[in-house]
Each structure stands twice: as structure tokens, then as C-alpha cells.
């Protein structure tokens, strides 16, 4: 089967490509599933295996380990699960030593995936290595780029400034754009979003997103509920939406909420994921008038939905003390990094209190302030879809051309 041309090379498949992939959270699962669909849409026969989530599995992915096993963040947090993480890494290396895939694509989860790529190179396996979603080397721990030079054959960048950074360090990289920026419309209908979740059209909803990982919910759910309880005093008619990506998170969130007064509990709706694709977080944001969310990929989704929002984050104290000394940029949320200025309020560590979050949300109740933020998000959205992006599928085929060209 002859596939498309890429830089003058014709690919003729004698057998399906075998592609190893590893993701560690919902956002990576979304990117992985979309990449699988892109291979299929271009007529590339491929077998996908490794560690994936429900969206990837629905596309035919074979997952050897549960995705949630990798869903840990922070130095102290990772140390607790180090033995299990090493077991997964070594298990994948052992499997791919006996039966190598053509290419390994680590999707986000850089602390795990870069180590796995390093092990692949150290063992001299005939496997090309790709990192999809650049680690934030341009923001902190910049010396990691030296390791990336040695262990990664290609970086697929979501943002144009990342490709420029890698060019300065002689690391092969292409700008593929962010699939969400391309797939999400420039206009979003909140009424339709409320219908999808069976919500009251006349009610003002505030989305509370404390994160999708166990540790995040443990640290941040009390923060968002505390802020909402304060807000409730001035805006008693407001109600609150909290997404839960699975039953474990739903139970955990409900347990935290149970310690609050019953009249407040009745204002909070914990919505679980009812679809194959883990989109409940995005659905909650789409149906919300204002959003308060943990920093991460979700802030990009909120920006692409053009939602007035506040972001926050709290790490283990020891992790934060180390991290803050390594950060090289003034902002930590994607909307502010992309804009190059403060667009949304960022509350981190000691500044992330229930009172400060409540006060930041009150500012967004002001329609003029909210509208300004919406327009800034729209501008950033247009920028992300207007750049000169490259095709990740063809770039990966080019990378493995020795094994696939005639």
C-alpha cells in the first residue's frame, strides 16, 4: 500500500506499523486518540500499544497498564509511587526488547516518558523516539533539553514558541499546533452546553475544576468549595458544577463536599463522565458562566471556550520550594504564557486560599471584566489556528522511513 509523499519520500507499507504510546492523564488520552485517528484517516495501517486511556482504547489501542497509575505529579508525590512507575517502565522495555515497536511516542507525562525513551536508547533498541507535547523546558529546568538531545528523535510541539526554543538547542522539532484549537469552534453556545448536561438555562453556574488526579483533588477540592461557600453569601442563587472523570474521583469529591453545610451541598452538582471520551471537564466549562480551575491543560480548554476564569495551584511544600527556584518565566498558566502577559488571575501556593479565590471570582461577575477576558481568549484562539503547522503523521513516517521505504 502506497501512502502520501513526504519530503520526496514514498512510503510503501509491507506490514502494519507498530507504534508504542504512553499517556498519563485525560488530556494525553485525548491527544493520543486524535493522533490514532489521523493515522487511520491517511490510510496508514498501524497497531497501537502501551499505556492508554478510554478514548485511545475505544480507537483500538492495547493498554498493558491502567493510565491512572501514571497520574502522579510533584517530587514527593512521585516518590511514593516510584516502585510502581519503575515496574511499568521496565515492563514496557522488556516487552519491546523482545518485540520492538517501530516508534515510541510519549504523550505528555515527561517525567515518565523521557525516562522511558532514555532506557530505549541505552538498551540500543531499534525504536525511534518521539515526545508529543514538549515538557516545559522553556519555563523551568532548562538543562533537561540536554537529555532530550540524546534521547528524543523528534519533538511534536503544540505551540510555535516551543519549536523556536528547540531550534536554538539543535533538537529536531516541528510545530503541529494544538488539536483542540483546531477542533473547537470560535463561537460557543452556552445554552446548548447547558442542554447537554440537563441544566437550568436561567441559572448562573460556576465551574469548579480541582483537577483529575487523586492528589490534586485531595489538595484542591477544599480550596474550591471554600471559595464557593464564601461566594454563596453574596450570590445565593449561583450554583456550582464539578466534573468527576471516573467513579473514584466522584466518590472522593463527594466525600470532601460532605463536610460542608447541607444548604451549600445542594448548590453543588458533581457530574460524572457518561461518554467513552473523557469530556466531562470540557462540558462543565462550556456550561459555566465563570470557571475556577487547577492550572494545567484545562486552562487551555477554558481559553478555547473563551471562558472568564481564575486558575490556581498548590503543590506539596517541598516540591514547591524546589520548583519555584527553577522557573524561568513570569507566568505558569497557558493563557498567560501564550499571550505573553497577565490575562487571567493566577493563584499559587500560599496565595491560593479560599478567600483569594472567592475575591478573584467576584471580579469576573462584573460583565465588563468578563467580556475583556473573553475577547483576549478569542484573540489567542485565532493565533493558534493561524500558524504554519506541520503534519505529525507524515513527520513520524519520515522518522521511520528506513524501515518503510522501498
Residue-level pLDDT at 81 = 65
Residue-level pLDDT at 68 = 83
Residue 391 CA to residue 176 CA, distance in Å, equals 6
Residue 380 belongs to what H/E stretch? helix 367-386
The residue extents of the domains of the chain are: 2-177+387-404, 190-385
Give me the mean pLDDT over the 277-299 stretch: 89
Residue-level pLDDT at 14 = 64
What rounded mean pLDDT belongs to the chain?
A: 87
Give the pairing of strands 9-12 and 2-6: antiparallel
Residue-level pLDDT at 75 = 41
Q: Do domains 2-177+387-404 and 190-385 have the same CATH topology?
A: yes
Cβ atoms of residues 334 and 347 within 8 Å? no
pLDDT at 370 over 80: yes
Residue 168 CA to residue 225 CA, distance in Å, equals 44
How far, CA to CA in Å, does 243 sit from each of 83, 201, 207, 298?
A: 30, 19, 8, 12
Rg over CA atoms, the chain: 22
Q: Pick the range with the lowest mean pLDDT from 113-127, 174-188, 191-205, 314-328.
A: 314-328
Nearest to 288 by CA among 365, 206, 231: 206
- Domain 190-385 CATH (choose: 3.30.70.1350, 3.40.50.2000, 3.40.50.2020, 1.10.443.10): 3.40.50.2000
Residue 13 CA to residue 2 CA, distance in Å, equals 7
Cβ atoms of residues 204 and 239 within 8 Å? yes
Residue-level pLDDT at 289 = 97
The residues, ordered by sequence, that sit 6+ positions from 365 with a Cβ below 8 Å of its Cβ are 235, 290
Give me the mean pLDDT over the 47-57 stretch: 96
Q: Pick the range with the lowest mean pLDDT from 80-89, 142-151, 293-302, 361-370.
A: 80-89
Residue 201 CA to residue 308 CA, distance in Å, equals 18
Architecture of domain 2-177+387-404: 3-Layer(aba) Sandwich (3.40)
Q: Pick the range with the lowest mean pLDDT from 26-30, 37-41, 55-59, 87-91.
A: 26-30
Q: Pick the range with the lowest mean pLDDT from 34-43, 134-143, 203-212, 364-373.
A: 134-143
The reported pTM is 0.68
Query: Predicted confidence band at 95 (pLDDT cuts at 50, 70, 90)?
Result: very high
pLDDT at 350 over 90: no
pLDDT tens, position by position, 298-322: 899 999 999 999 999 887 766 666 6
Amino acid at each position: 500500500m502506497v501512502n502520501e509523499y513526504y519530503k520526496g519520500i514514498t512510503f510503501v507499507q509491507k506490514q502494519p506499523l507498530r507504534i508504542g504510546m504512553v499517556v498519563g492523564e485525560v488530556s494525553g488520552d485525548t491527544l493520543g486518540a486524535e493522533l490514532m485517528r489521523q493515522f487511520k484517516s491517511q490510510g496508514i495501517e498501524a497497531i497501537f500499544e502501551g499505556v492508554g486511556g478510554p478514548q485511545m482504547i475505544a480507537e483500538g489501542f492495547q493498554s498493558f497498564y491502567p493510565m491512572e497509575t501514571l497520574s502522579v505529579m510533584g517530587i514527593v508525590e512521585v516518590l511514593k509511587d516510584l516502585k510502581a512507575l519503575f515496574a511499568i517502565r521496565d515492563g514496557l522495555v522488556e516487552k519491546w526488547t523482545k518485540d520492538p515497536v517501530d516508534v515510541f511516542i510519549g504523550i505528555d507525562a515527561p517525567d515518565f516518558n523521557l525516562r522511558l525513551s532514555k532506557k530505549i536508547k541505552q538498551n540500543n533498541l531499534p525504536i525511534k523516539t518521539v515526545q508529543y507535547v514538549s515538557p516545559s523546558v522553556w519555563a523551568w529546568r532548562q538543562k533537561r533539553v540536554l537529555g532530550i538531545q540524546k534521547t528524543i528523535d523528534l519533538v511534536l510541539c503544540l505551540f510555535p514558541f516551543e519549536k523556536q526554543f528547540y531550534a536554538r538547542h539543535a533538537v529536531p522539532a516541528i510545530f503541529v499546533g494544538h488539536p483542540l484549537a483546531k477542533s473547537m469552534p470560535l463561537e460557543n453556545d452556552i445554552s446548548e452546553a447547558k442542554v447537554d448536561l440537563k441544566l437550568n438555562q436561567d441559572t448562573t453556574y460556576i465551574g469548579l475544576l480541582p483537577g483529575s488526579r487523586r492528589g490534586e483533588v485531595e489538595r484542591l477540592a477544599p480550596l474550591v468549595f471554600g471559595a464557593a461557600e464564601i461566594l454563596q453569601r453574596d450570590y445565593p442563587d449561583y450554583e456550582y458544577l464539578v466534573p468527576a472523570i471516573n467513579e473514584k474521583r466522584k466518590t472522593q469529591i463527594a466525600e470532601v463536599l460532605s463536610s460542608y453545610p447541607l444548604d451549600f451541598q445542594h448548590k453543588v452538582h458533581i457530574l460524572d463522565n457518561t461518554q467513552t471520551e473523557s469530556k466531562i471537564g470540557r462540558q462543565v466549562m462550556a456550561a459555566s458562566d465563570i470557571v475556577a480551575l487547577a492550572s494545567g491543560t484545562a486552562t487551555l480548554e477554558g481559553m478555547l471556550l473563551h471562558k472568564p476564569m481564575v486558575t490556581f495551584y498548590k503543590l506539596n511544600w517541598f516540591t514547591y520550594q524546589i520548583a519555584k527556584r527553577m522557573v524561568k518565566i513570569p507566568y505558569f498558566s497557558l493563557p498567560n504564557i501564550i499571550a505573553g502577559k497577565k490575562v487571567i488571575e493566577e493563584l499559587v501556593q500560599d496565595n491560593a486560599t479560599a478567600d483569594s479565590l472567592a475575591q478573584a471570582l467576584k471580579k469576573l461577575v462584573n460583565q465588563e471584566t468578563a467580556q475583556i477576558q473573553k475577547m483576549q481568549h478569542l484573540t489567542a484562539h485565532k493565533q493558534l489556528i493561524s500558524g504554519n503547522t506541520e503534519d505529525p503523521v507524515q513527520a513520524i513516517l519520515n522518522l521511520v522511513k528506513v524501515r518503510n521505504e522501498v
